[in-house]
Structure 1
Amino acid sequence: MKNQKTLKKRPRKENIETEIQNSCPDCNSTDFDYNQSRGEVICKHCGLIIDENVMDFGPEWRAFDHEQRNRRTRVGAPTTNTIHDYGLPTTIDWKNNNISSKNLPQWYRMRKWQKKIRVSGARERNLAFALTELDRKCSNLGLSRNIRESASLVYRKALDNNLIRGRTIQGVVAASIYISCRLCDLPRTLGEVANALNVTKKELGRVHRFLVRKLKIKLSPISPKSYIPRFACELKLSEKSQVKAIEIIEKSQSEGLTIGKGPNGVAAAALYIASQLLGERKSQRDVAEVAGVTEVTLRNRYKELCQNLNLGVTI
């Protein structure tokens, strides 16, 4: 006899606790609590974690009334801002297994028109091209999914407010990525983003300031401490050097020495001083290249910190 497939029903979310284990192995209690955010099943009596990393089969959205639940109920992958149609298209498969030869021309015409209708109008063409470019550039920079979503949302807002006209798509995409990095507290310098996206630093700065002003986005100032782990990793410095550099930056901030100075230049100078103090010597050229500043800027920040903080380093 041939083996027949047996389809198993998906477990209901509210019954996950009882299906994992019937009783607590420590106190034999059957009163469990399911923590959805952490994916853990916890005994309410003794606090023992019965199971962890439990898969949640429920939807990723929430509904607070019956009308909202009916409106959000759907199937398929979750919606995303990185695709111009939010990832909710319909496709006609190109396989013609059960289609007669008489109906083939009709199916070909349906596929062709569906492909054309999916991107219709100048706005959708602009959005489809820009979001594809944005996703590719984020991959080159190694940025996470939440930053791509945030950058796509910034670009959509700019397009809805007619801020794209008179500016290149590459420039607005680069500015959206830089703004999302700032919003998500992921330090990326203007030079890094400009080089990765093939735009000039001047254009990126101009478009970035324009979008922040028009969209009323509040960006907190970048702290030089946020650059320390990445710069130290690229320079192959120890954790002691990182801790020492952060101490130097904190002292300089308390003295007001970082006001009006570029955060990457201050971080580079603090790392250079820390490497000199701990015997992990790095050349000024190497530190300047990693930080994306000139050697003159590095020397100026280095001299200012040494003179005002009395760090015991000869200039």
Structure 2
Amino acid sequence: MAALREALEKLTSLSTPPTIDIPPSHSATYAAWSLDTSTSDFCPECRVSNPIEKYSEGDVVCGDCGLVLGDRIVDTRSEWRTFSNDDTSGVDPSRVGAGINPLLHGEQLSTTIAYTKPARTTKTTTAASGGASGRVLQRAQARTAESKADQSLLVAYERIGAFCGGMSIQNVVVETAKTLFKQIDDAKVIRGKPVDAVVAACIFLACRQCSVPRTFREVFAMTNVPKKDIGRVYKVMEKFFNKQGKGPEEAGAGDGGYKVTETTKPCELIHRYCSALKMDQRCAAVSVALAARIAELGSVAGRSPISGAAACIYMIGHLLGTSRTTKEISKVAGVGEPTIRNAYKHLYNDRAKLIDRTWLEEGKGDLERLPCA
């Protein structure tokens, strides 16, 4: 019996939980941790839940005893450096590459294989350049059909940007011209046409879509594509887009739809010509008003909008005392001096109907300044 009683006392002593001596400094923290037994980020050494994430080392350590609790953690914070070749200032850092370009084919998620032939062939330079296998892989990728299709588009886009840059055209026109080229290239409506002629026609049509029209002469002067070739391609493109797009009463200004264009009006050219002639804003505004009046009366009906715009500038310049010669206007508008004089004759004959009395107020305008036709 004594032996049995001694054995029971030993078993009772083993089932009693051991007493843990808690340091005074950690008593409050341990008490808070002991209330939530579901937590899994406590330190197994000091029994304190105070993990610290060190992203530079990729570890999670205990803030009290320094024990490493985890490794290879992923940094989910914002990135403070950029991997883009176009942005070296680091203003807009990104972890990924550029967005998908809608002007190219496919999802554009492929990898480009680069190969650079070393100047000196050694074991080190050959290994760095990828060796013979790198050259073979680059050639194989260059033969893919998708890259060839994108290559032709990139060549056309480069020409559009170069031509528009030479004509000082806004970026919105450049993007519109590229979009038009992509649409007609996908539809295969320009198969067999010269690329330069298609590019010139896209620029001409994009200028009209963006309400900054250019004449065939201006496009020809920059692209060196004959006006007849531009006109032929333009008619094919306009016929295609008129079927695919919207009418002028349905297309909004900013909905991205194609707007059916009309013939260029003289008032759309006057502001640009006046700016090139260094005429003030009042002369430009009055010239535009005069162009609107001759469109209603039909004073220069049947004549090109260029000659009508040039004649309006010539007439208003003399009326307001800021005259320009026919030679100066001819250089800017690209039309002959006799053409300007012939158009001016019709305006001079209808001057009583065309000239508004408000243009003559305060002595700013004088009919006596107008040269006789």
The Cα of 1:248 is off from its aligned counterpart by 1.3
Query: Aligned equivalents of 1:270 and 1:87: distance in 2?
Result: 52
Query: Aligned equivalents of 2:264 and 2:129: distance in 1?
Result: 65
Query: Aligned equivalents of 1:86 and 1:291: distance in 2?
Result: 45
In structure 1, runs of 5+ residues without a counterpart are: 12-55, 60-73
DSSP 3-state at the match of 1:90:
coil
Matches within 5 A, 1:249-288: 249-257=291-299, 259-288=301-330
The Cα of 1:287 is off from its aligned counterpart by 0.5
1:207 paired with 2:228, answer no
* Aligned match of 2:262: 220
Larger RCO (CA within 8 A; separation ≥ 6): 1
Residues 70-121 of structure 1: CA deviation (Å, up to 9, x unaligned): xxxx943234455567876633455899994695222232233333437555
Query: Aligned equivalents of 2:107 and 2:129: distance in 1?
Result: 35
CA shift in 2, pair 1:78/1:308, >3 Å: farther
Matches within 5 A, 1:68-87: 75-80=96-101
Task: Please tell me whether the aligned partners of residues 79 and 93 of structure 2 are also in contact (alpha carbons under 8 angstroms).
Answer: no
Query: Aligned equivalents of 1:91 and 1:308: distance in 2?
Result: 67
* Aligned match of 2:205: 179
Task: Please tell me whether the aligned partners of residues 283 and 320 of structure 2 are also in contact (alpha carbons under 8 angstroms).
Answer: yes
Alignment size in residue pairs: 252
CA shift in 2, pair 1:101/1:90, >3 Å: closer
* AA aligned opposite 1:110: L
Task: Please tell me whether the aligned partners of residues 270 and 302 of structure 1 are also in contact (alpha carbons under 8 angstroms).
Answer: yes
Residues 140-160 of structure 1: CA deviation (Å, up to 9, x unaligned): 222233222221222222223
* Aligned match of 1:68: none
Task: Please tell me whether the aligned partners of residues 84 and 127 of structure 1 are also in contact (alpha carbons under 8 angstroms).
Answer: no
Task: Please tell me whether the aligned partners of residues 265 and 298 of structure 1 are also in contact (alpha carbons under 8 angstroms).
Answer: yes
CA shift in 2, pair 1:208/1:58, >3 Å: farther
Identity of aligned residues (%): 26
Deviates more, 1:217-226 or 1:269-278: 217-226
1:131 paired with 2:166, answer no
Query: Aligned equivalents of 1:143 and 1:162: distance in 2?
Result: 27
Q: Which has more radius of gyration?
A: 2
1:104 to 103, 109, 131: 131
* AA aligned opposite 1:248: L
DSSP 3-state at the match of 2:350:
helix
Task: Please tell me whether the aligned partners of residues 103 and 182 of structure 2 are also in contact (alpha carbons under 8 angstroms).
Answer: no
Query: Aligned equivalents of 2:106 and 2:333: distance in 1?
Result: 39
* AA aligned opposite 1:9: S
Matches within 5 A, 1:18-37: none
Query: Aligned equivalents of 1:75 and 1:223: distance in 2?
Result: 47
The Cα of 1:173 is off from its aligned counterpart by 0.9
Residues 255-279 of structure 1: CA deviation (Å, up to 9, x unaligned): 2335443222211111111111122
The Cα of 1:9 is off from its aligned counterpart by 2.1
Task: Please tell me whether the aligned partners of residues 251 and 309 of structure 1 are also in contact (alpha carbons under 8 angstroms).
Answer: no
2:78 to 6, 9, 33: 9
2:277 to 229, 232, 235: 235
CA shift in 2, pair 1:166/1:114, >3 Å: closer
Task: Please tell me whether the aligned partners of residues 217 and 334 of structure 2 are also in contact (alpha carbons under 8 angstroms).
Answer: yes
Task: Please tell me whether the aligned partners of residues 204 and 219 of structure 2 are also in contact (alpha carbons under 8 angstroms).
Answer: yes
Relative to the length of structure 1, the TM-score reads 0.68
Query: Aligned equivalents of 1:221 and 1:147: distance in 2?
Result: 18
In structure 2, runs of 5+ residues without a counterpart are: 1-55, 57-74, 81-90, 119-123, 246-259, 356-366
Deviates more, 1:260-269 or 1:89-98: 89-98
2:171 to 142, 145, 149: 145
Query: Aligned equivalents of 1:165 and 1:118: distance in 2?
Result: 17
Task: Please tell me whether the aligned partners of residues 134 and 152 of structure 1 are also in contact (alpha carbons under 8 angstroms).
Answer: yes
Query: Aligned equivalents of 2:166 and 2:265: distance in 1?
Result: 24
* Aligned match of 1:189: 215
Query: Aligned equivalents of 1:302 and 1:104: distance in 2?
Result: 74
DSSP 3-state at the match of 1:163:
coil
Query: Aligned equivalents of 1:102 and 1:243: distance in 2?
Result: 64
The Cα of 1:174 is off from its aligned counterpart by 0.5
The Cα of 1:304 is off from its aligned counterpart by 1.2
2:195 to 169, 172, 178: 169
The Cα of 1:135 is off from its aligned counterpart by 2.4
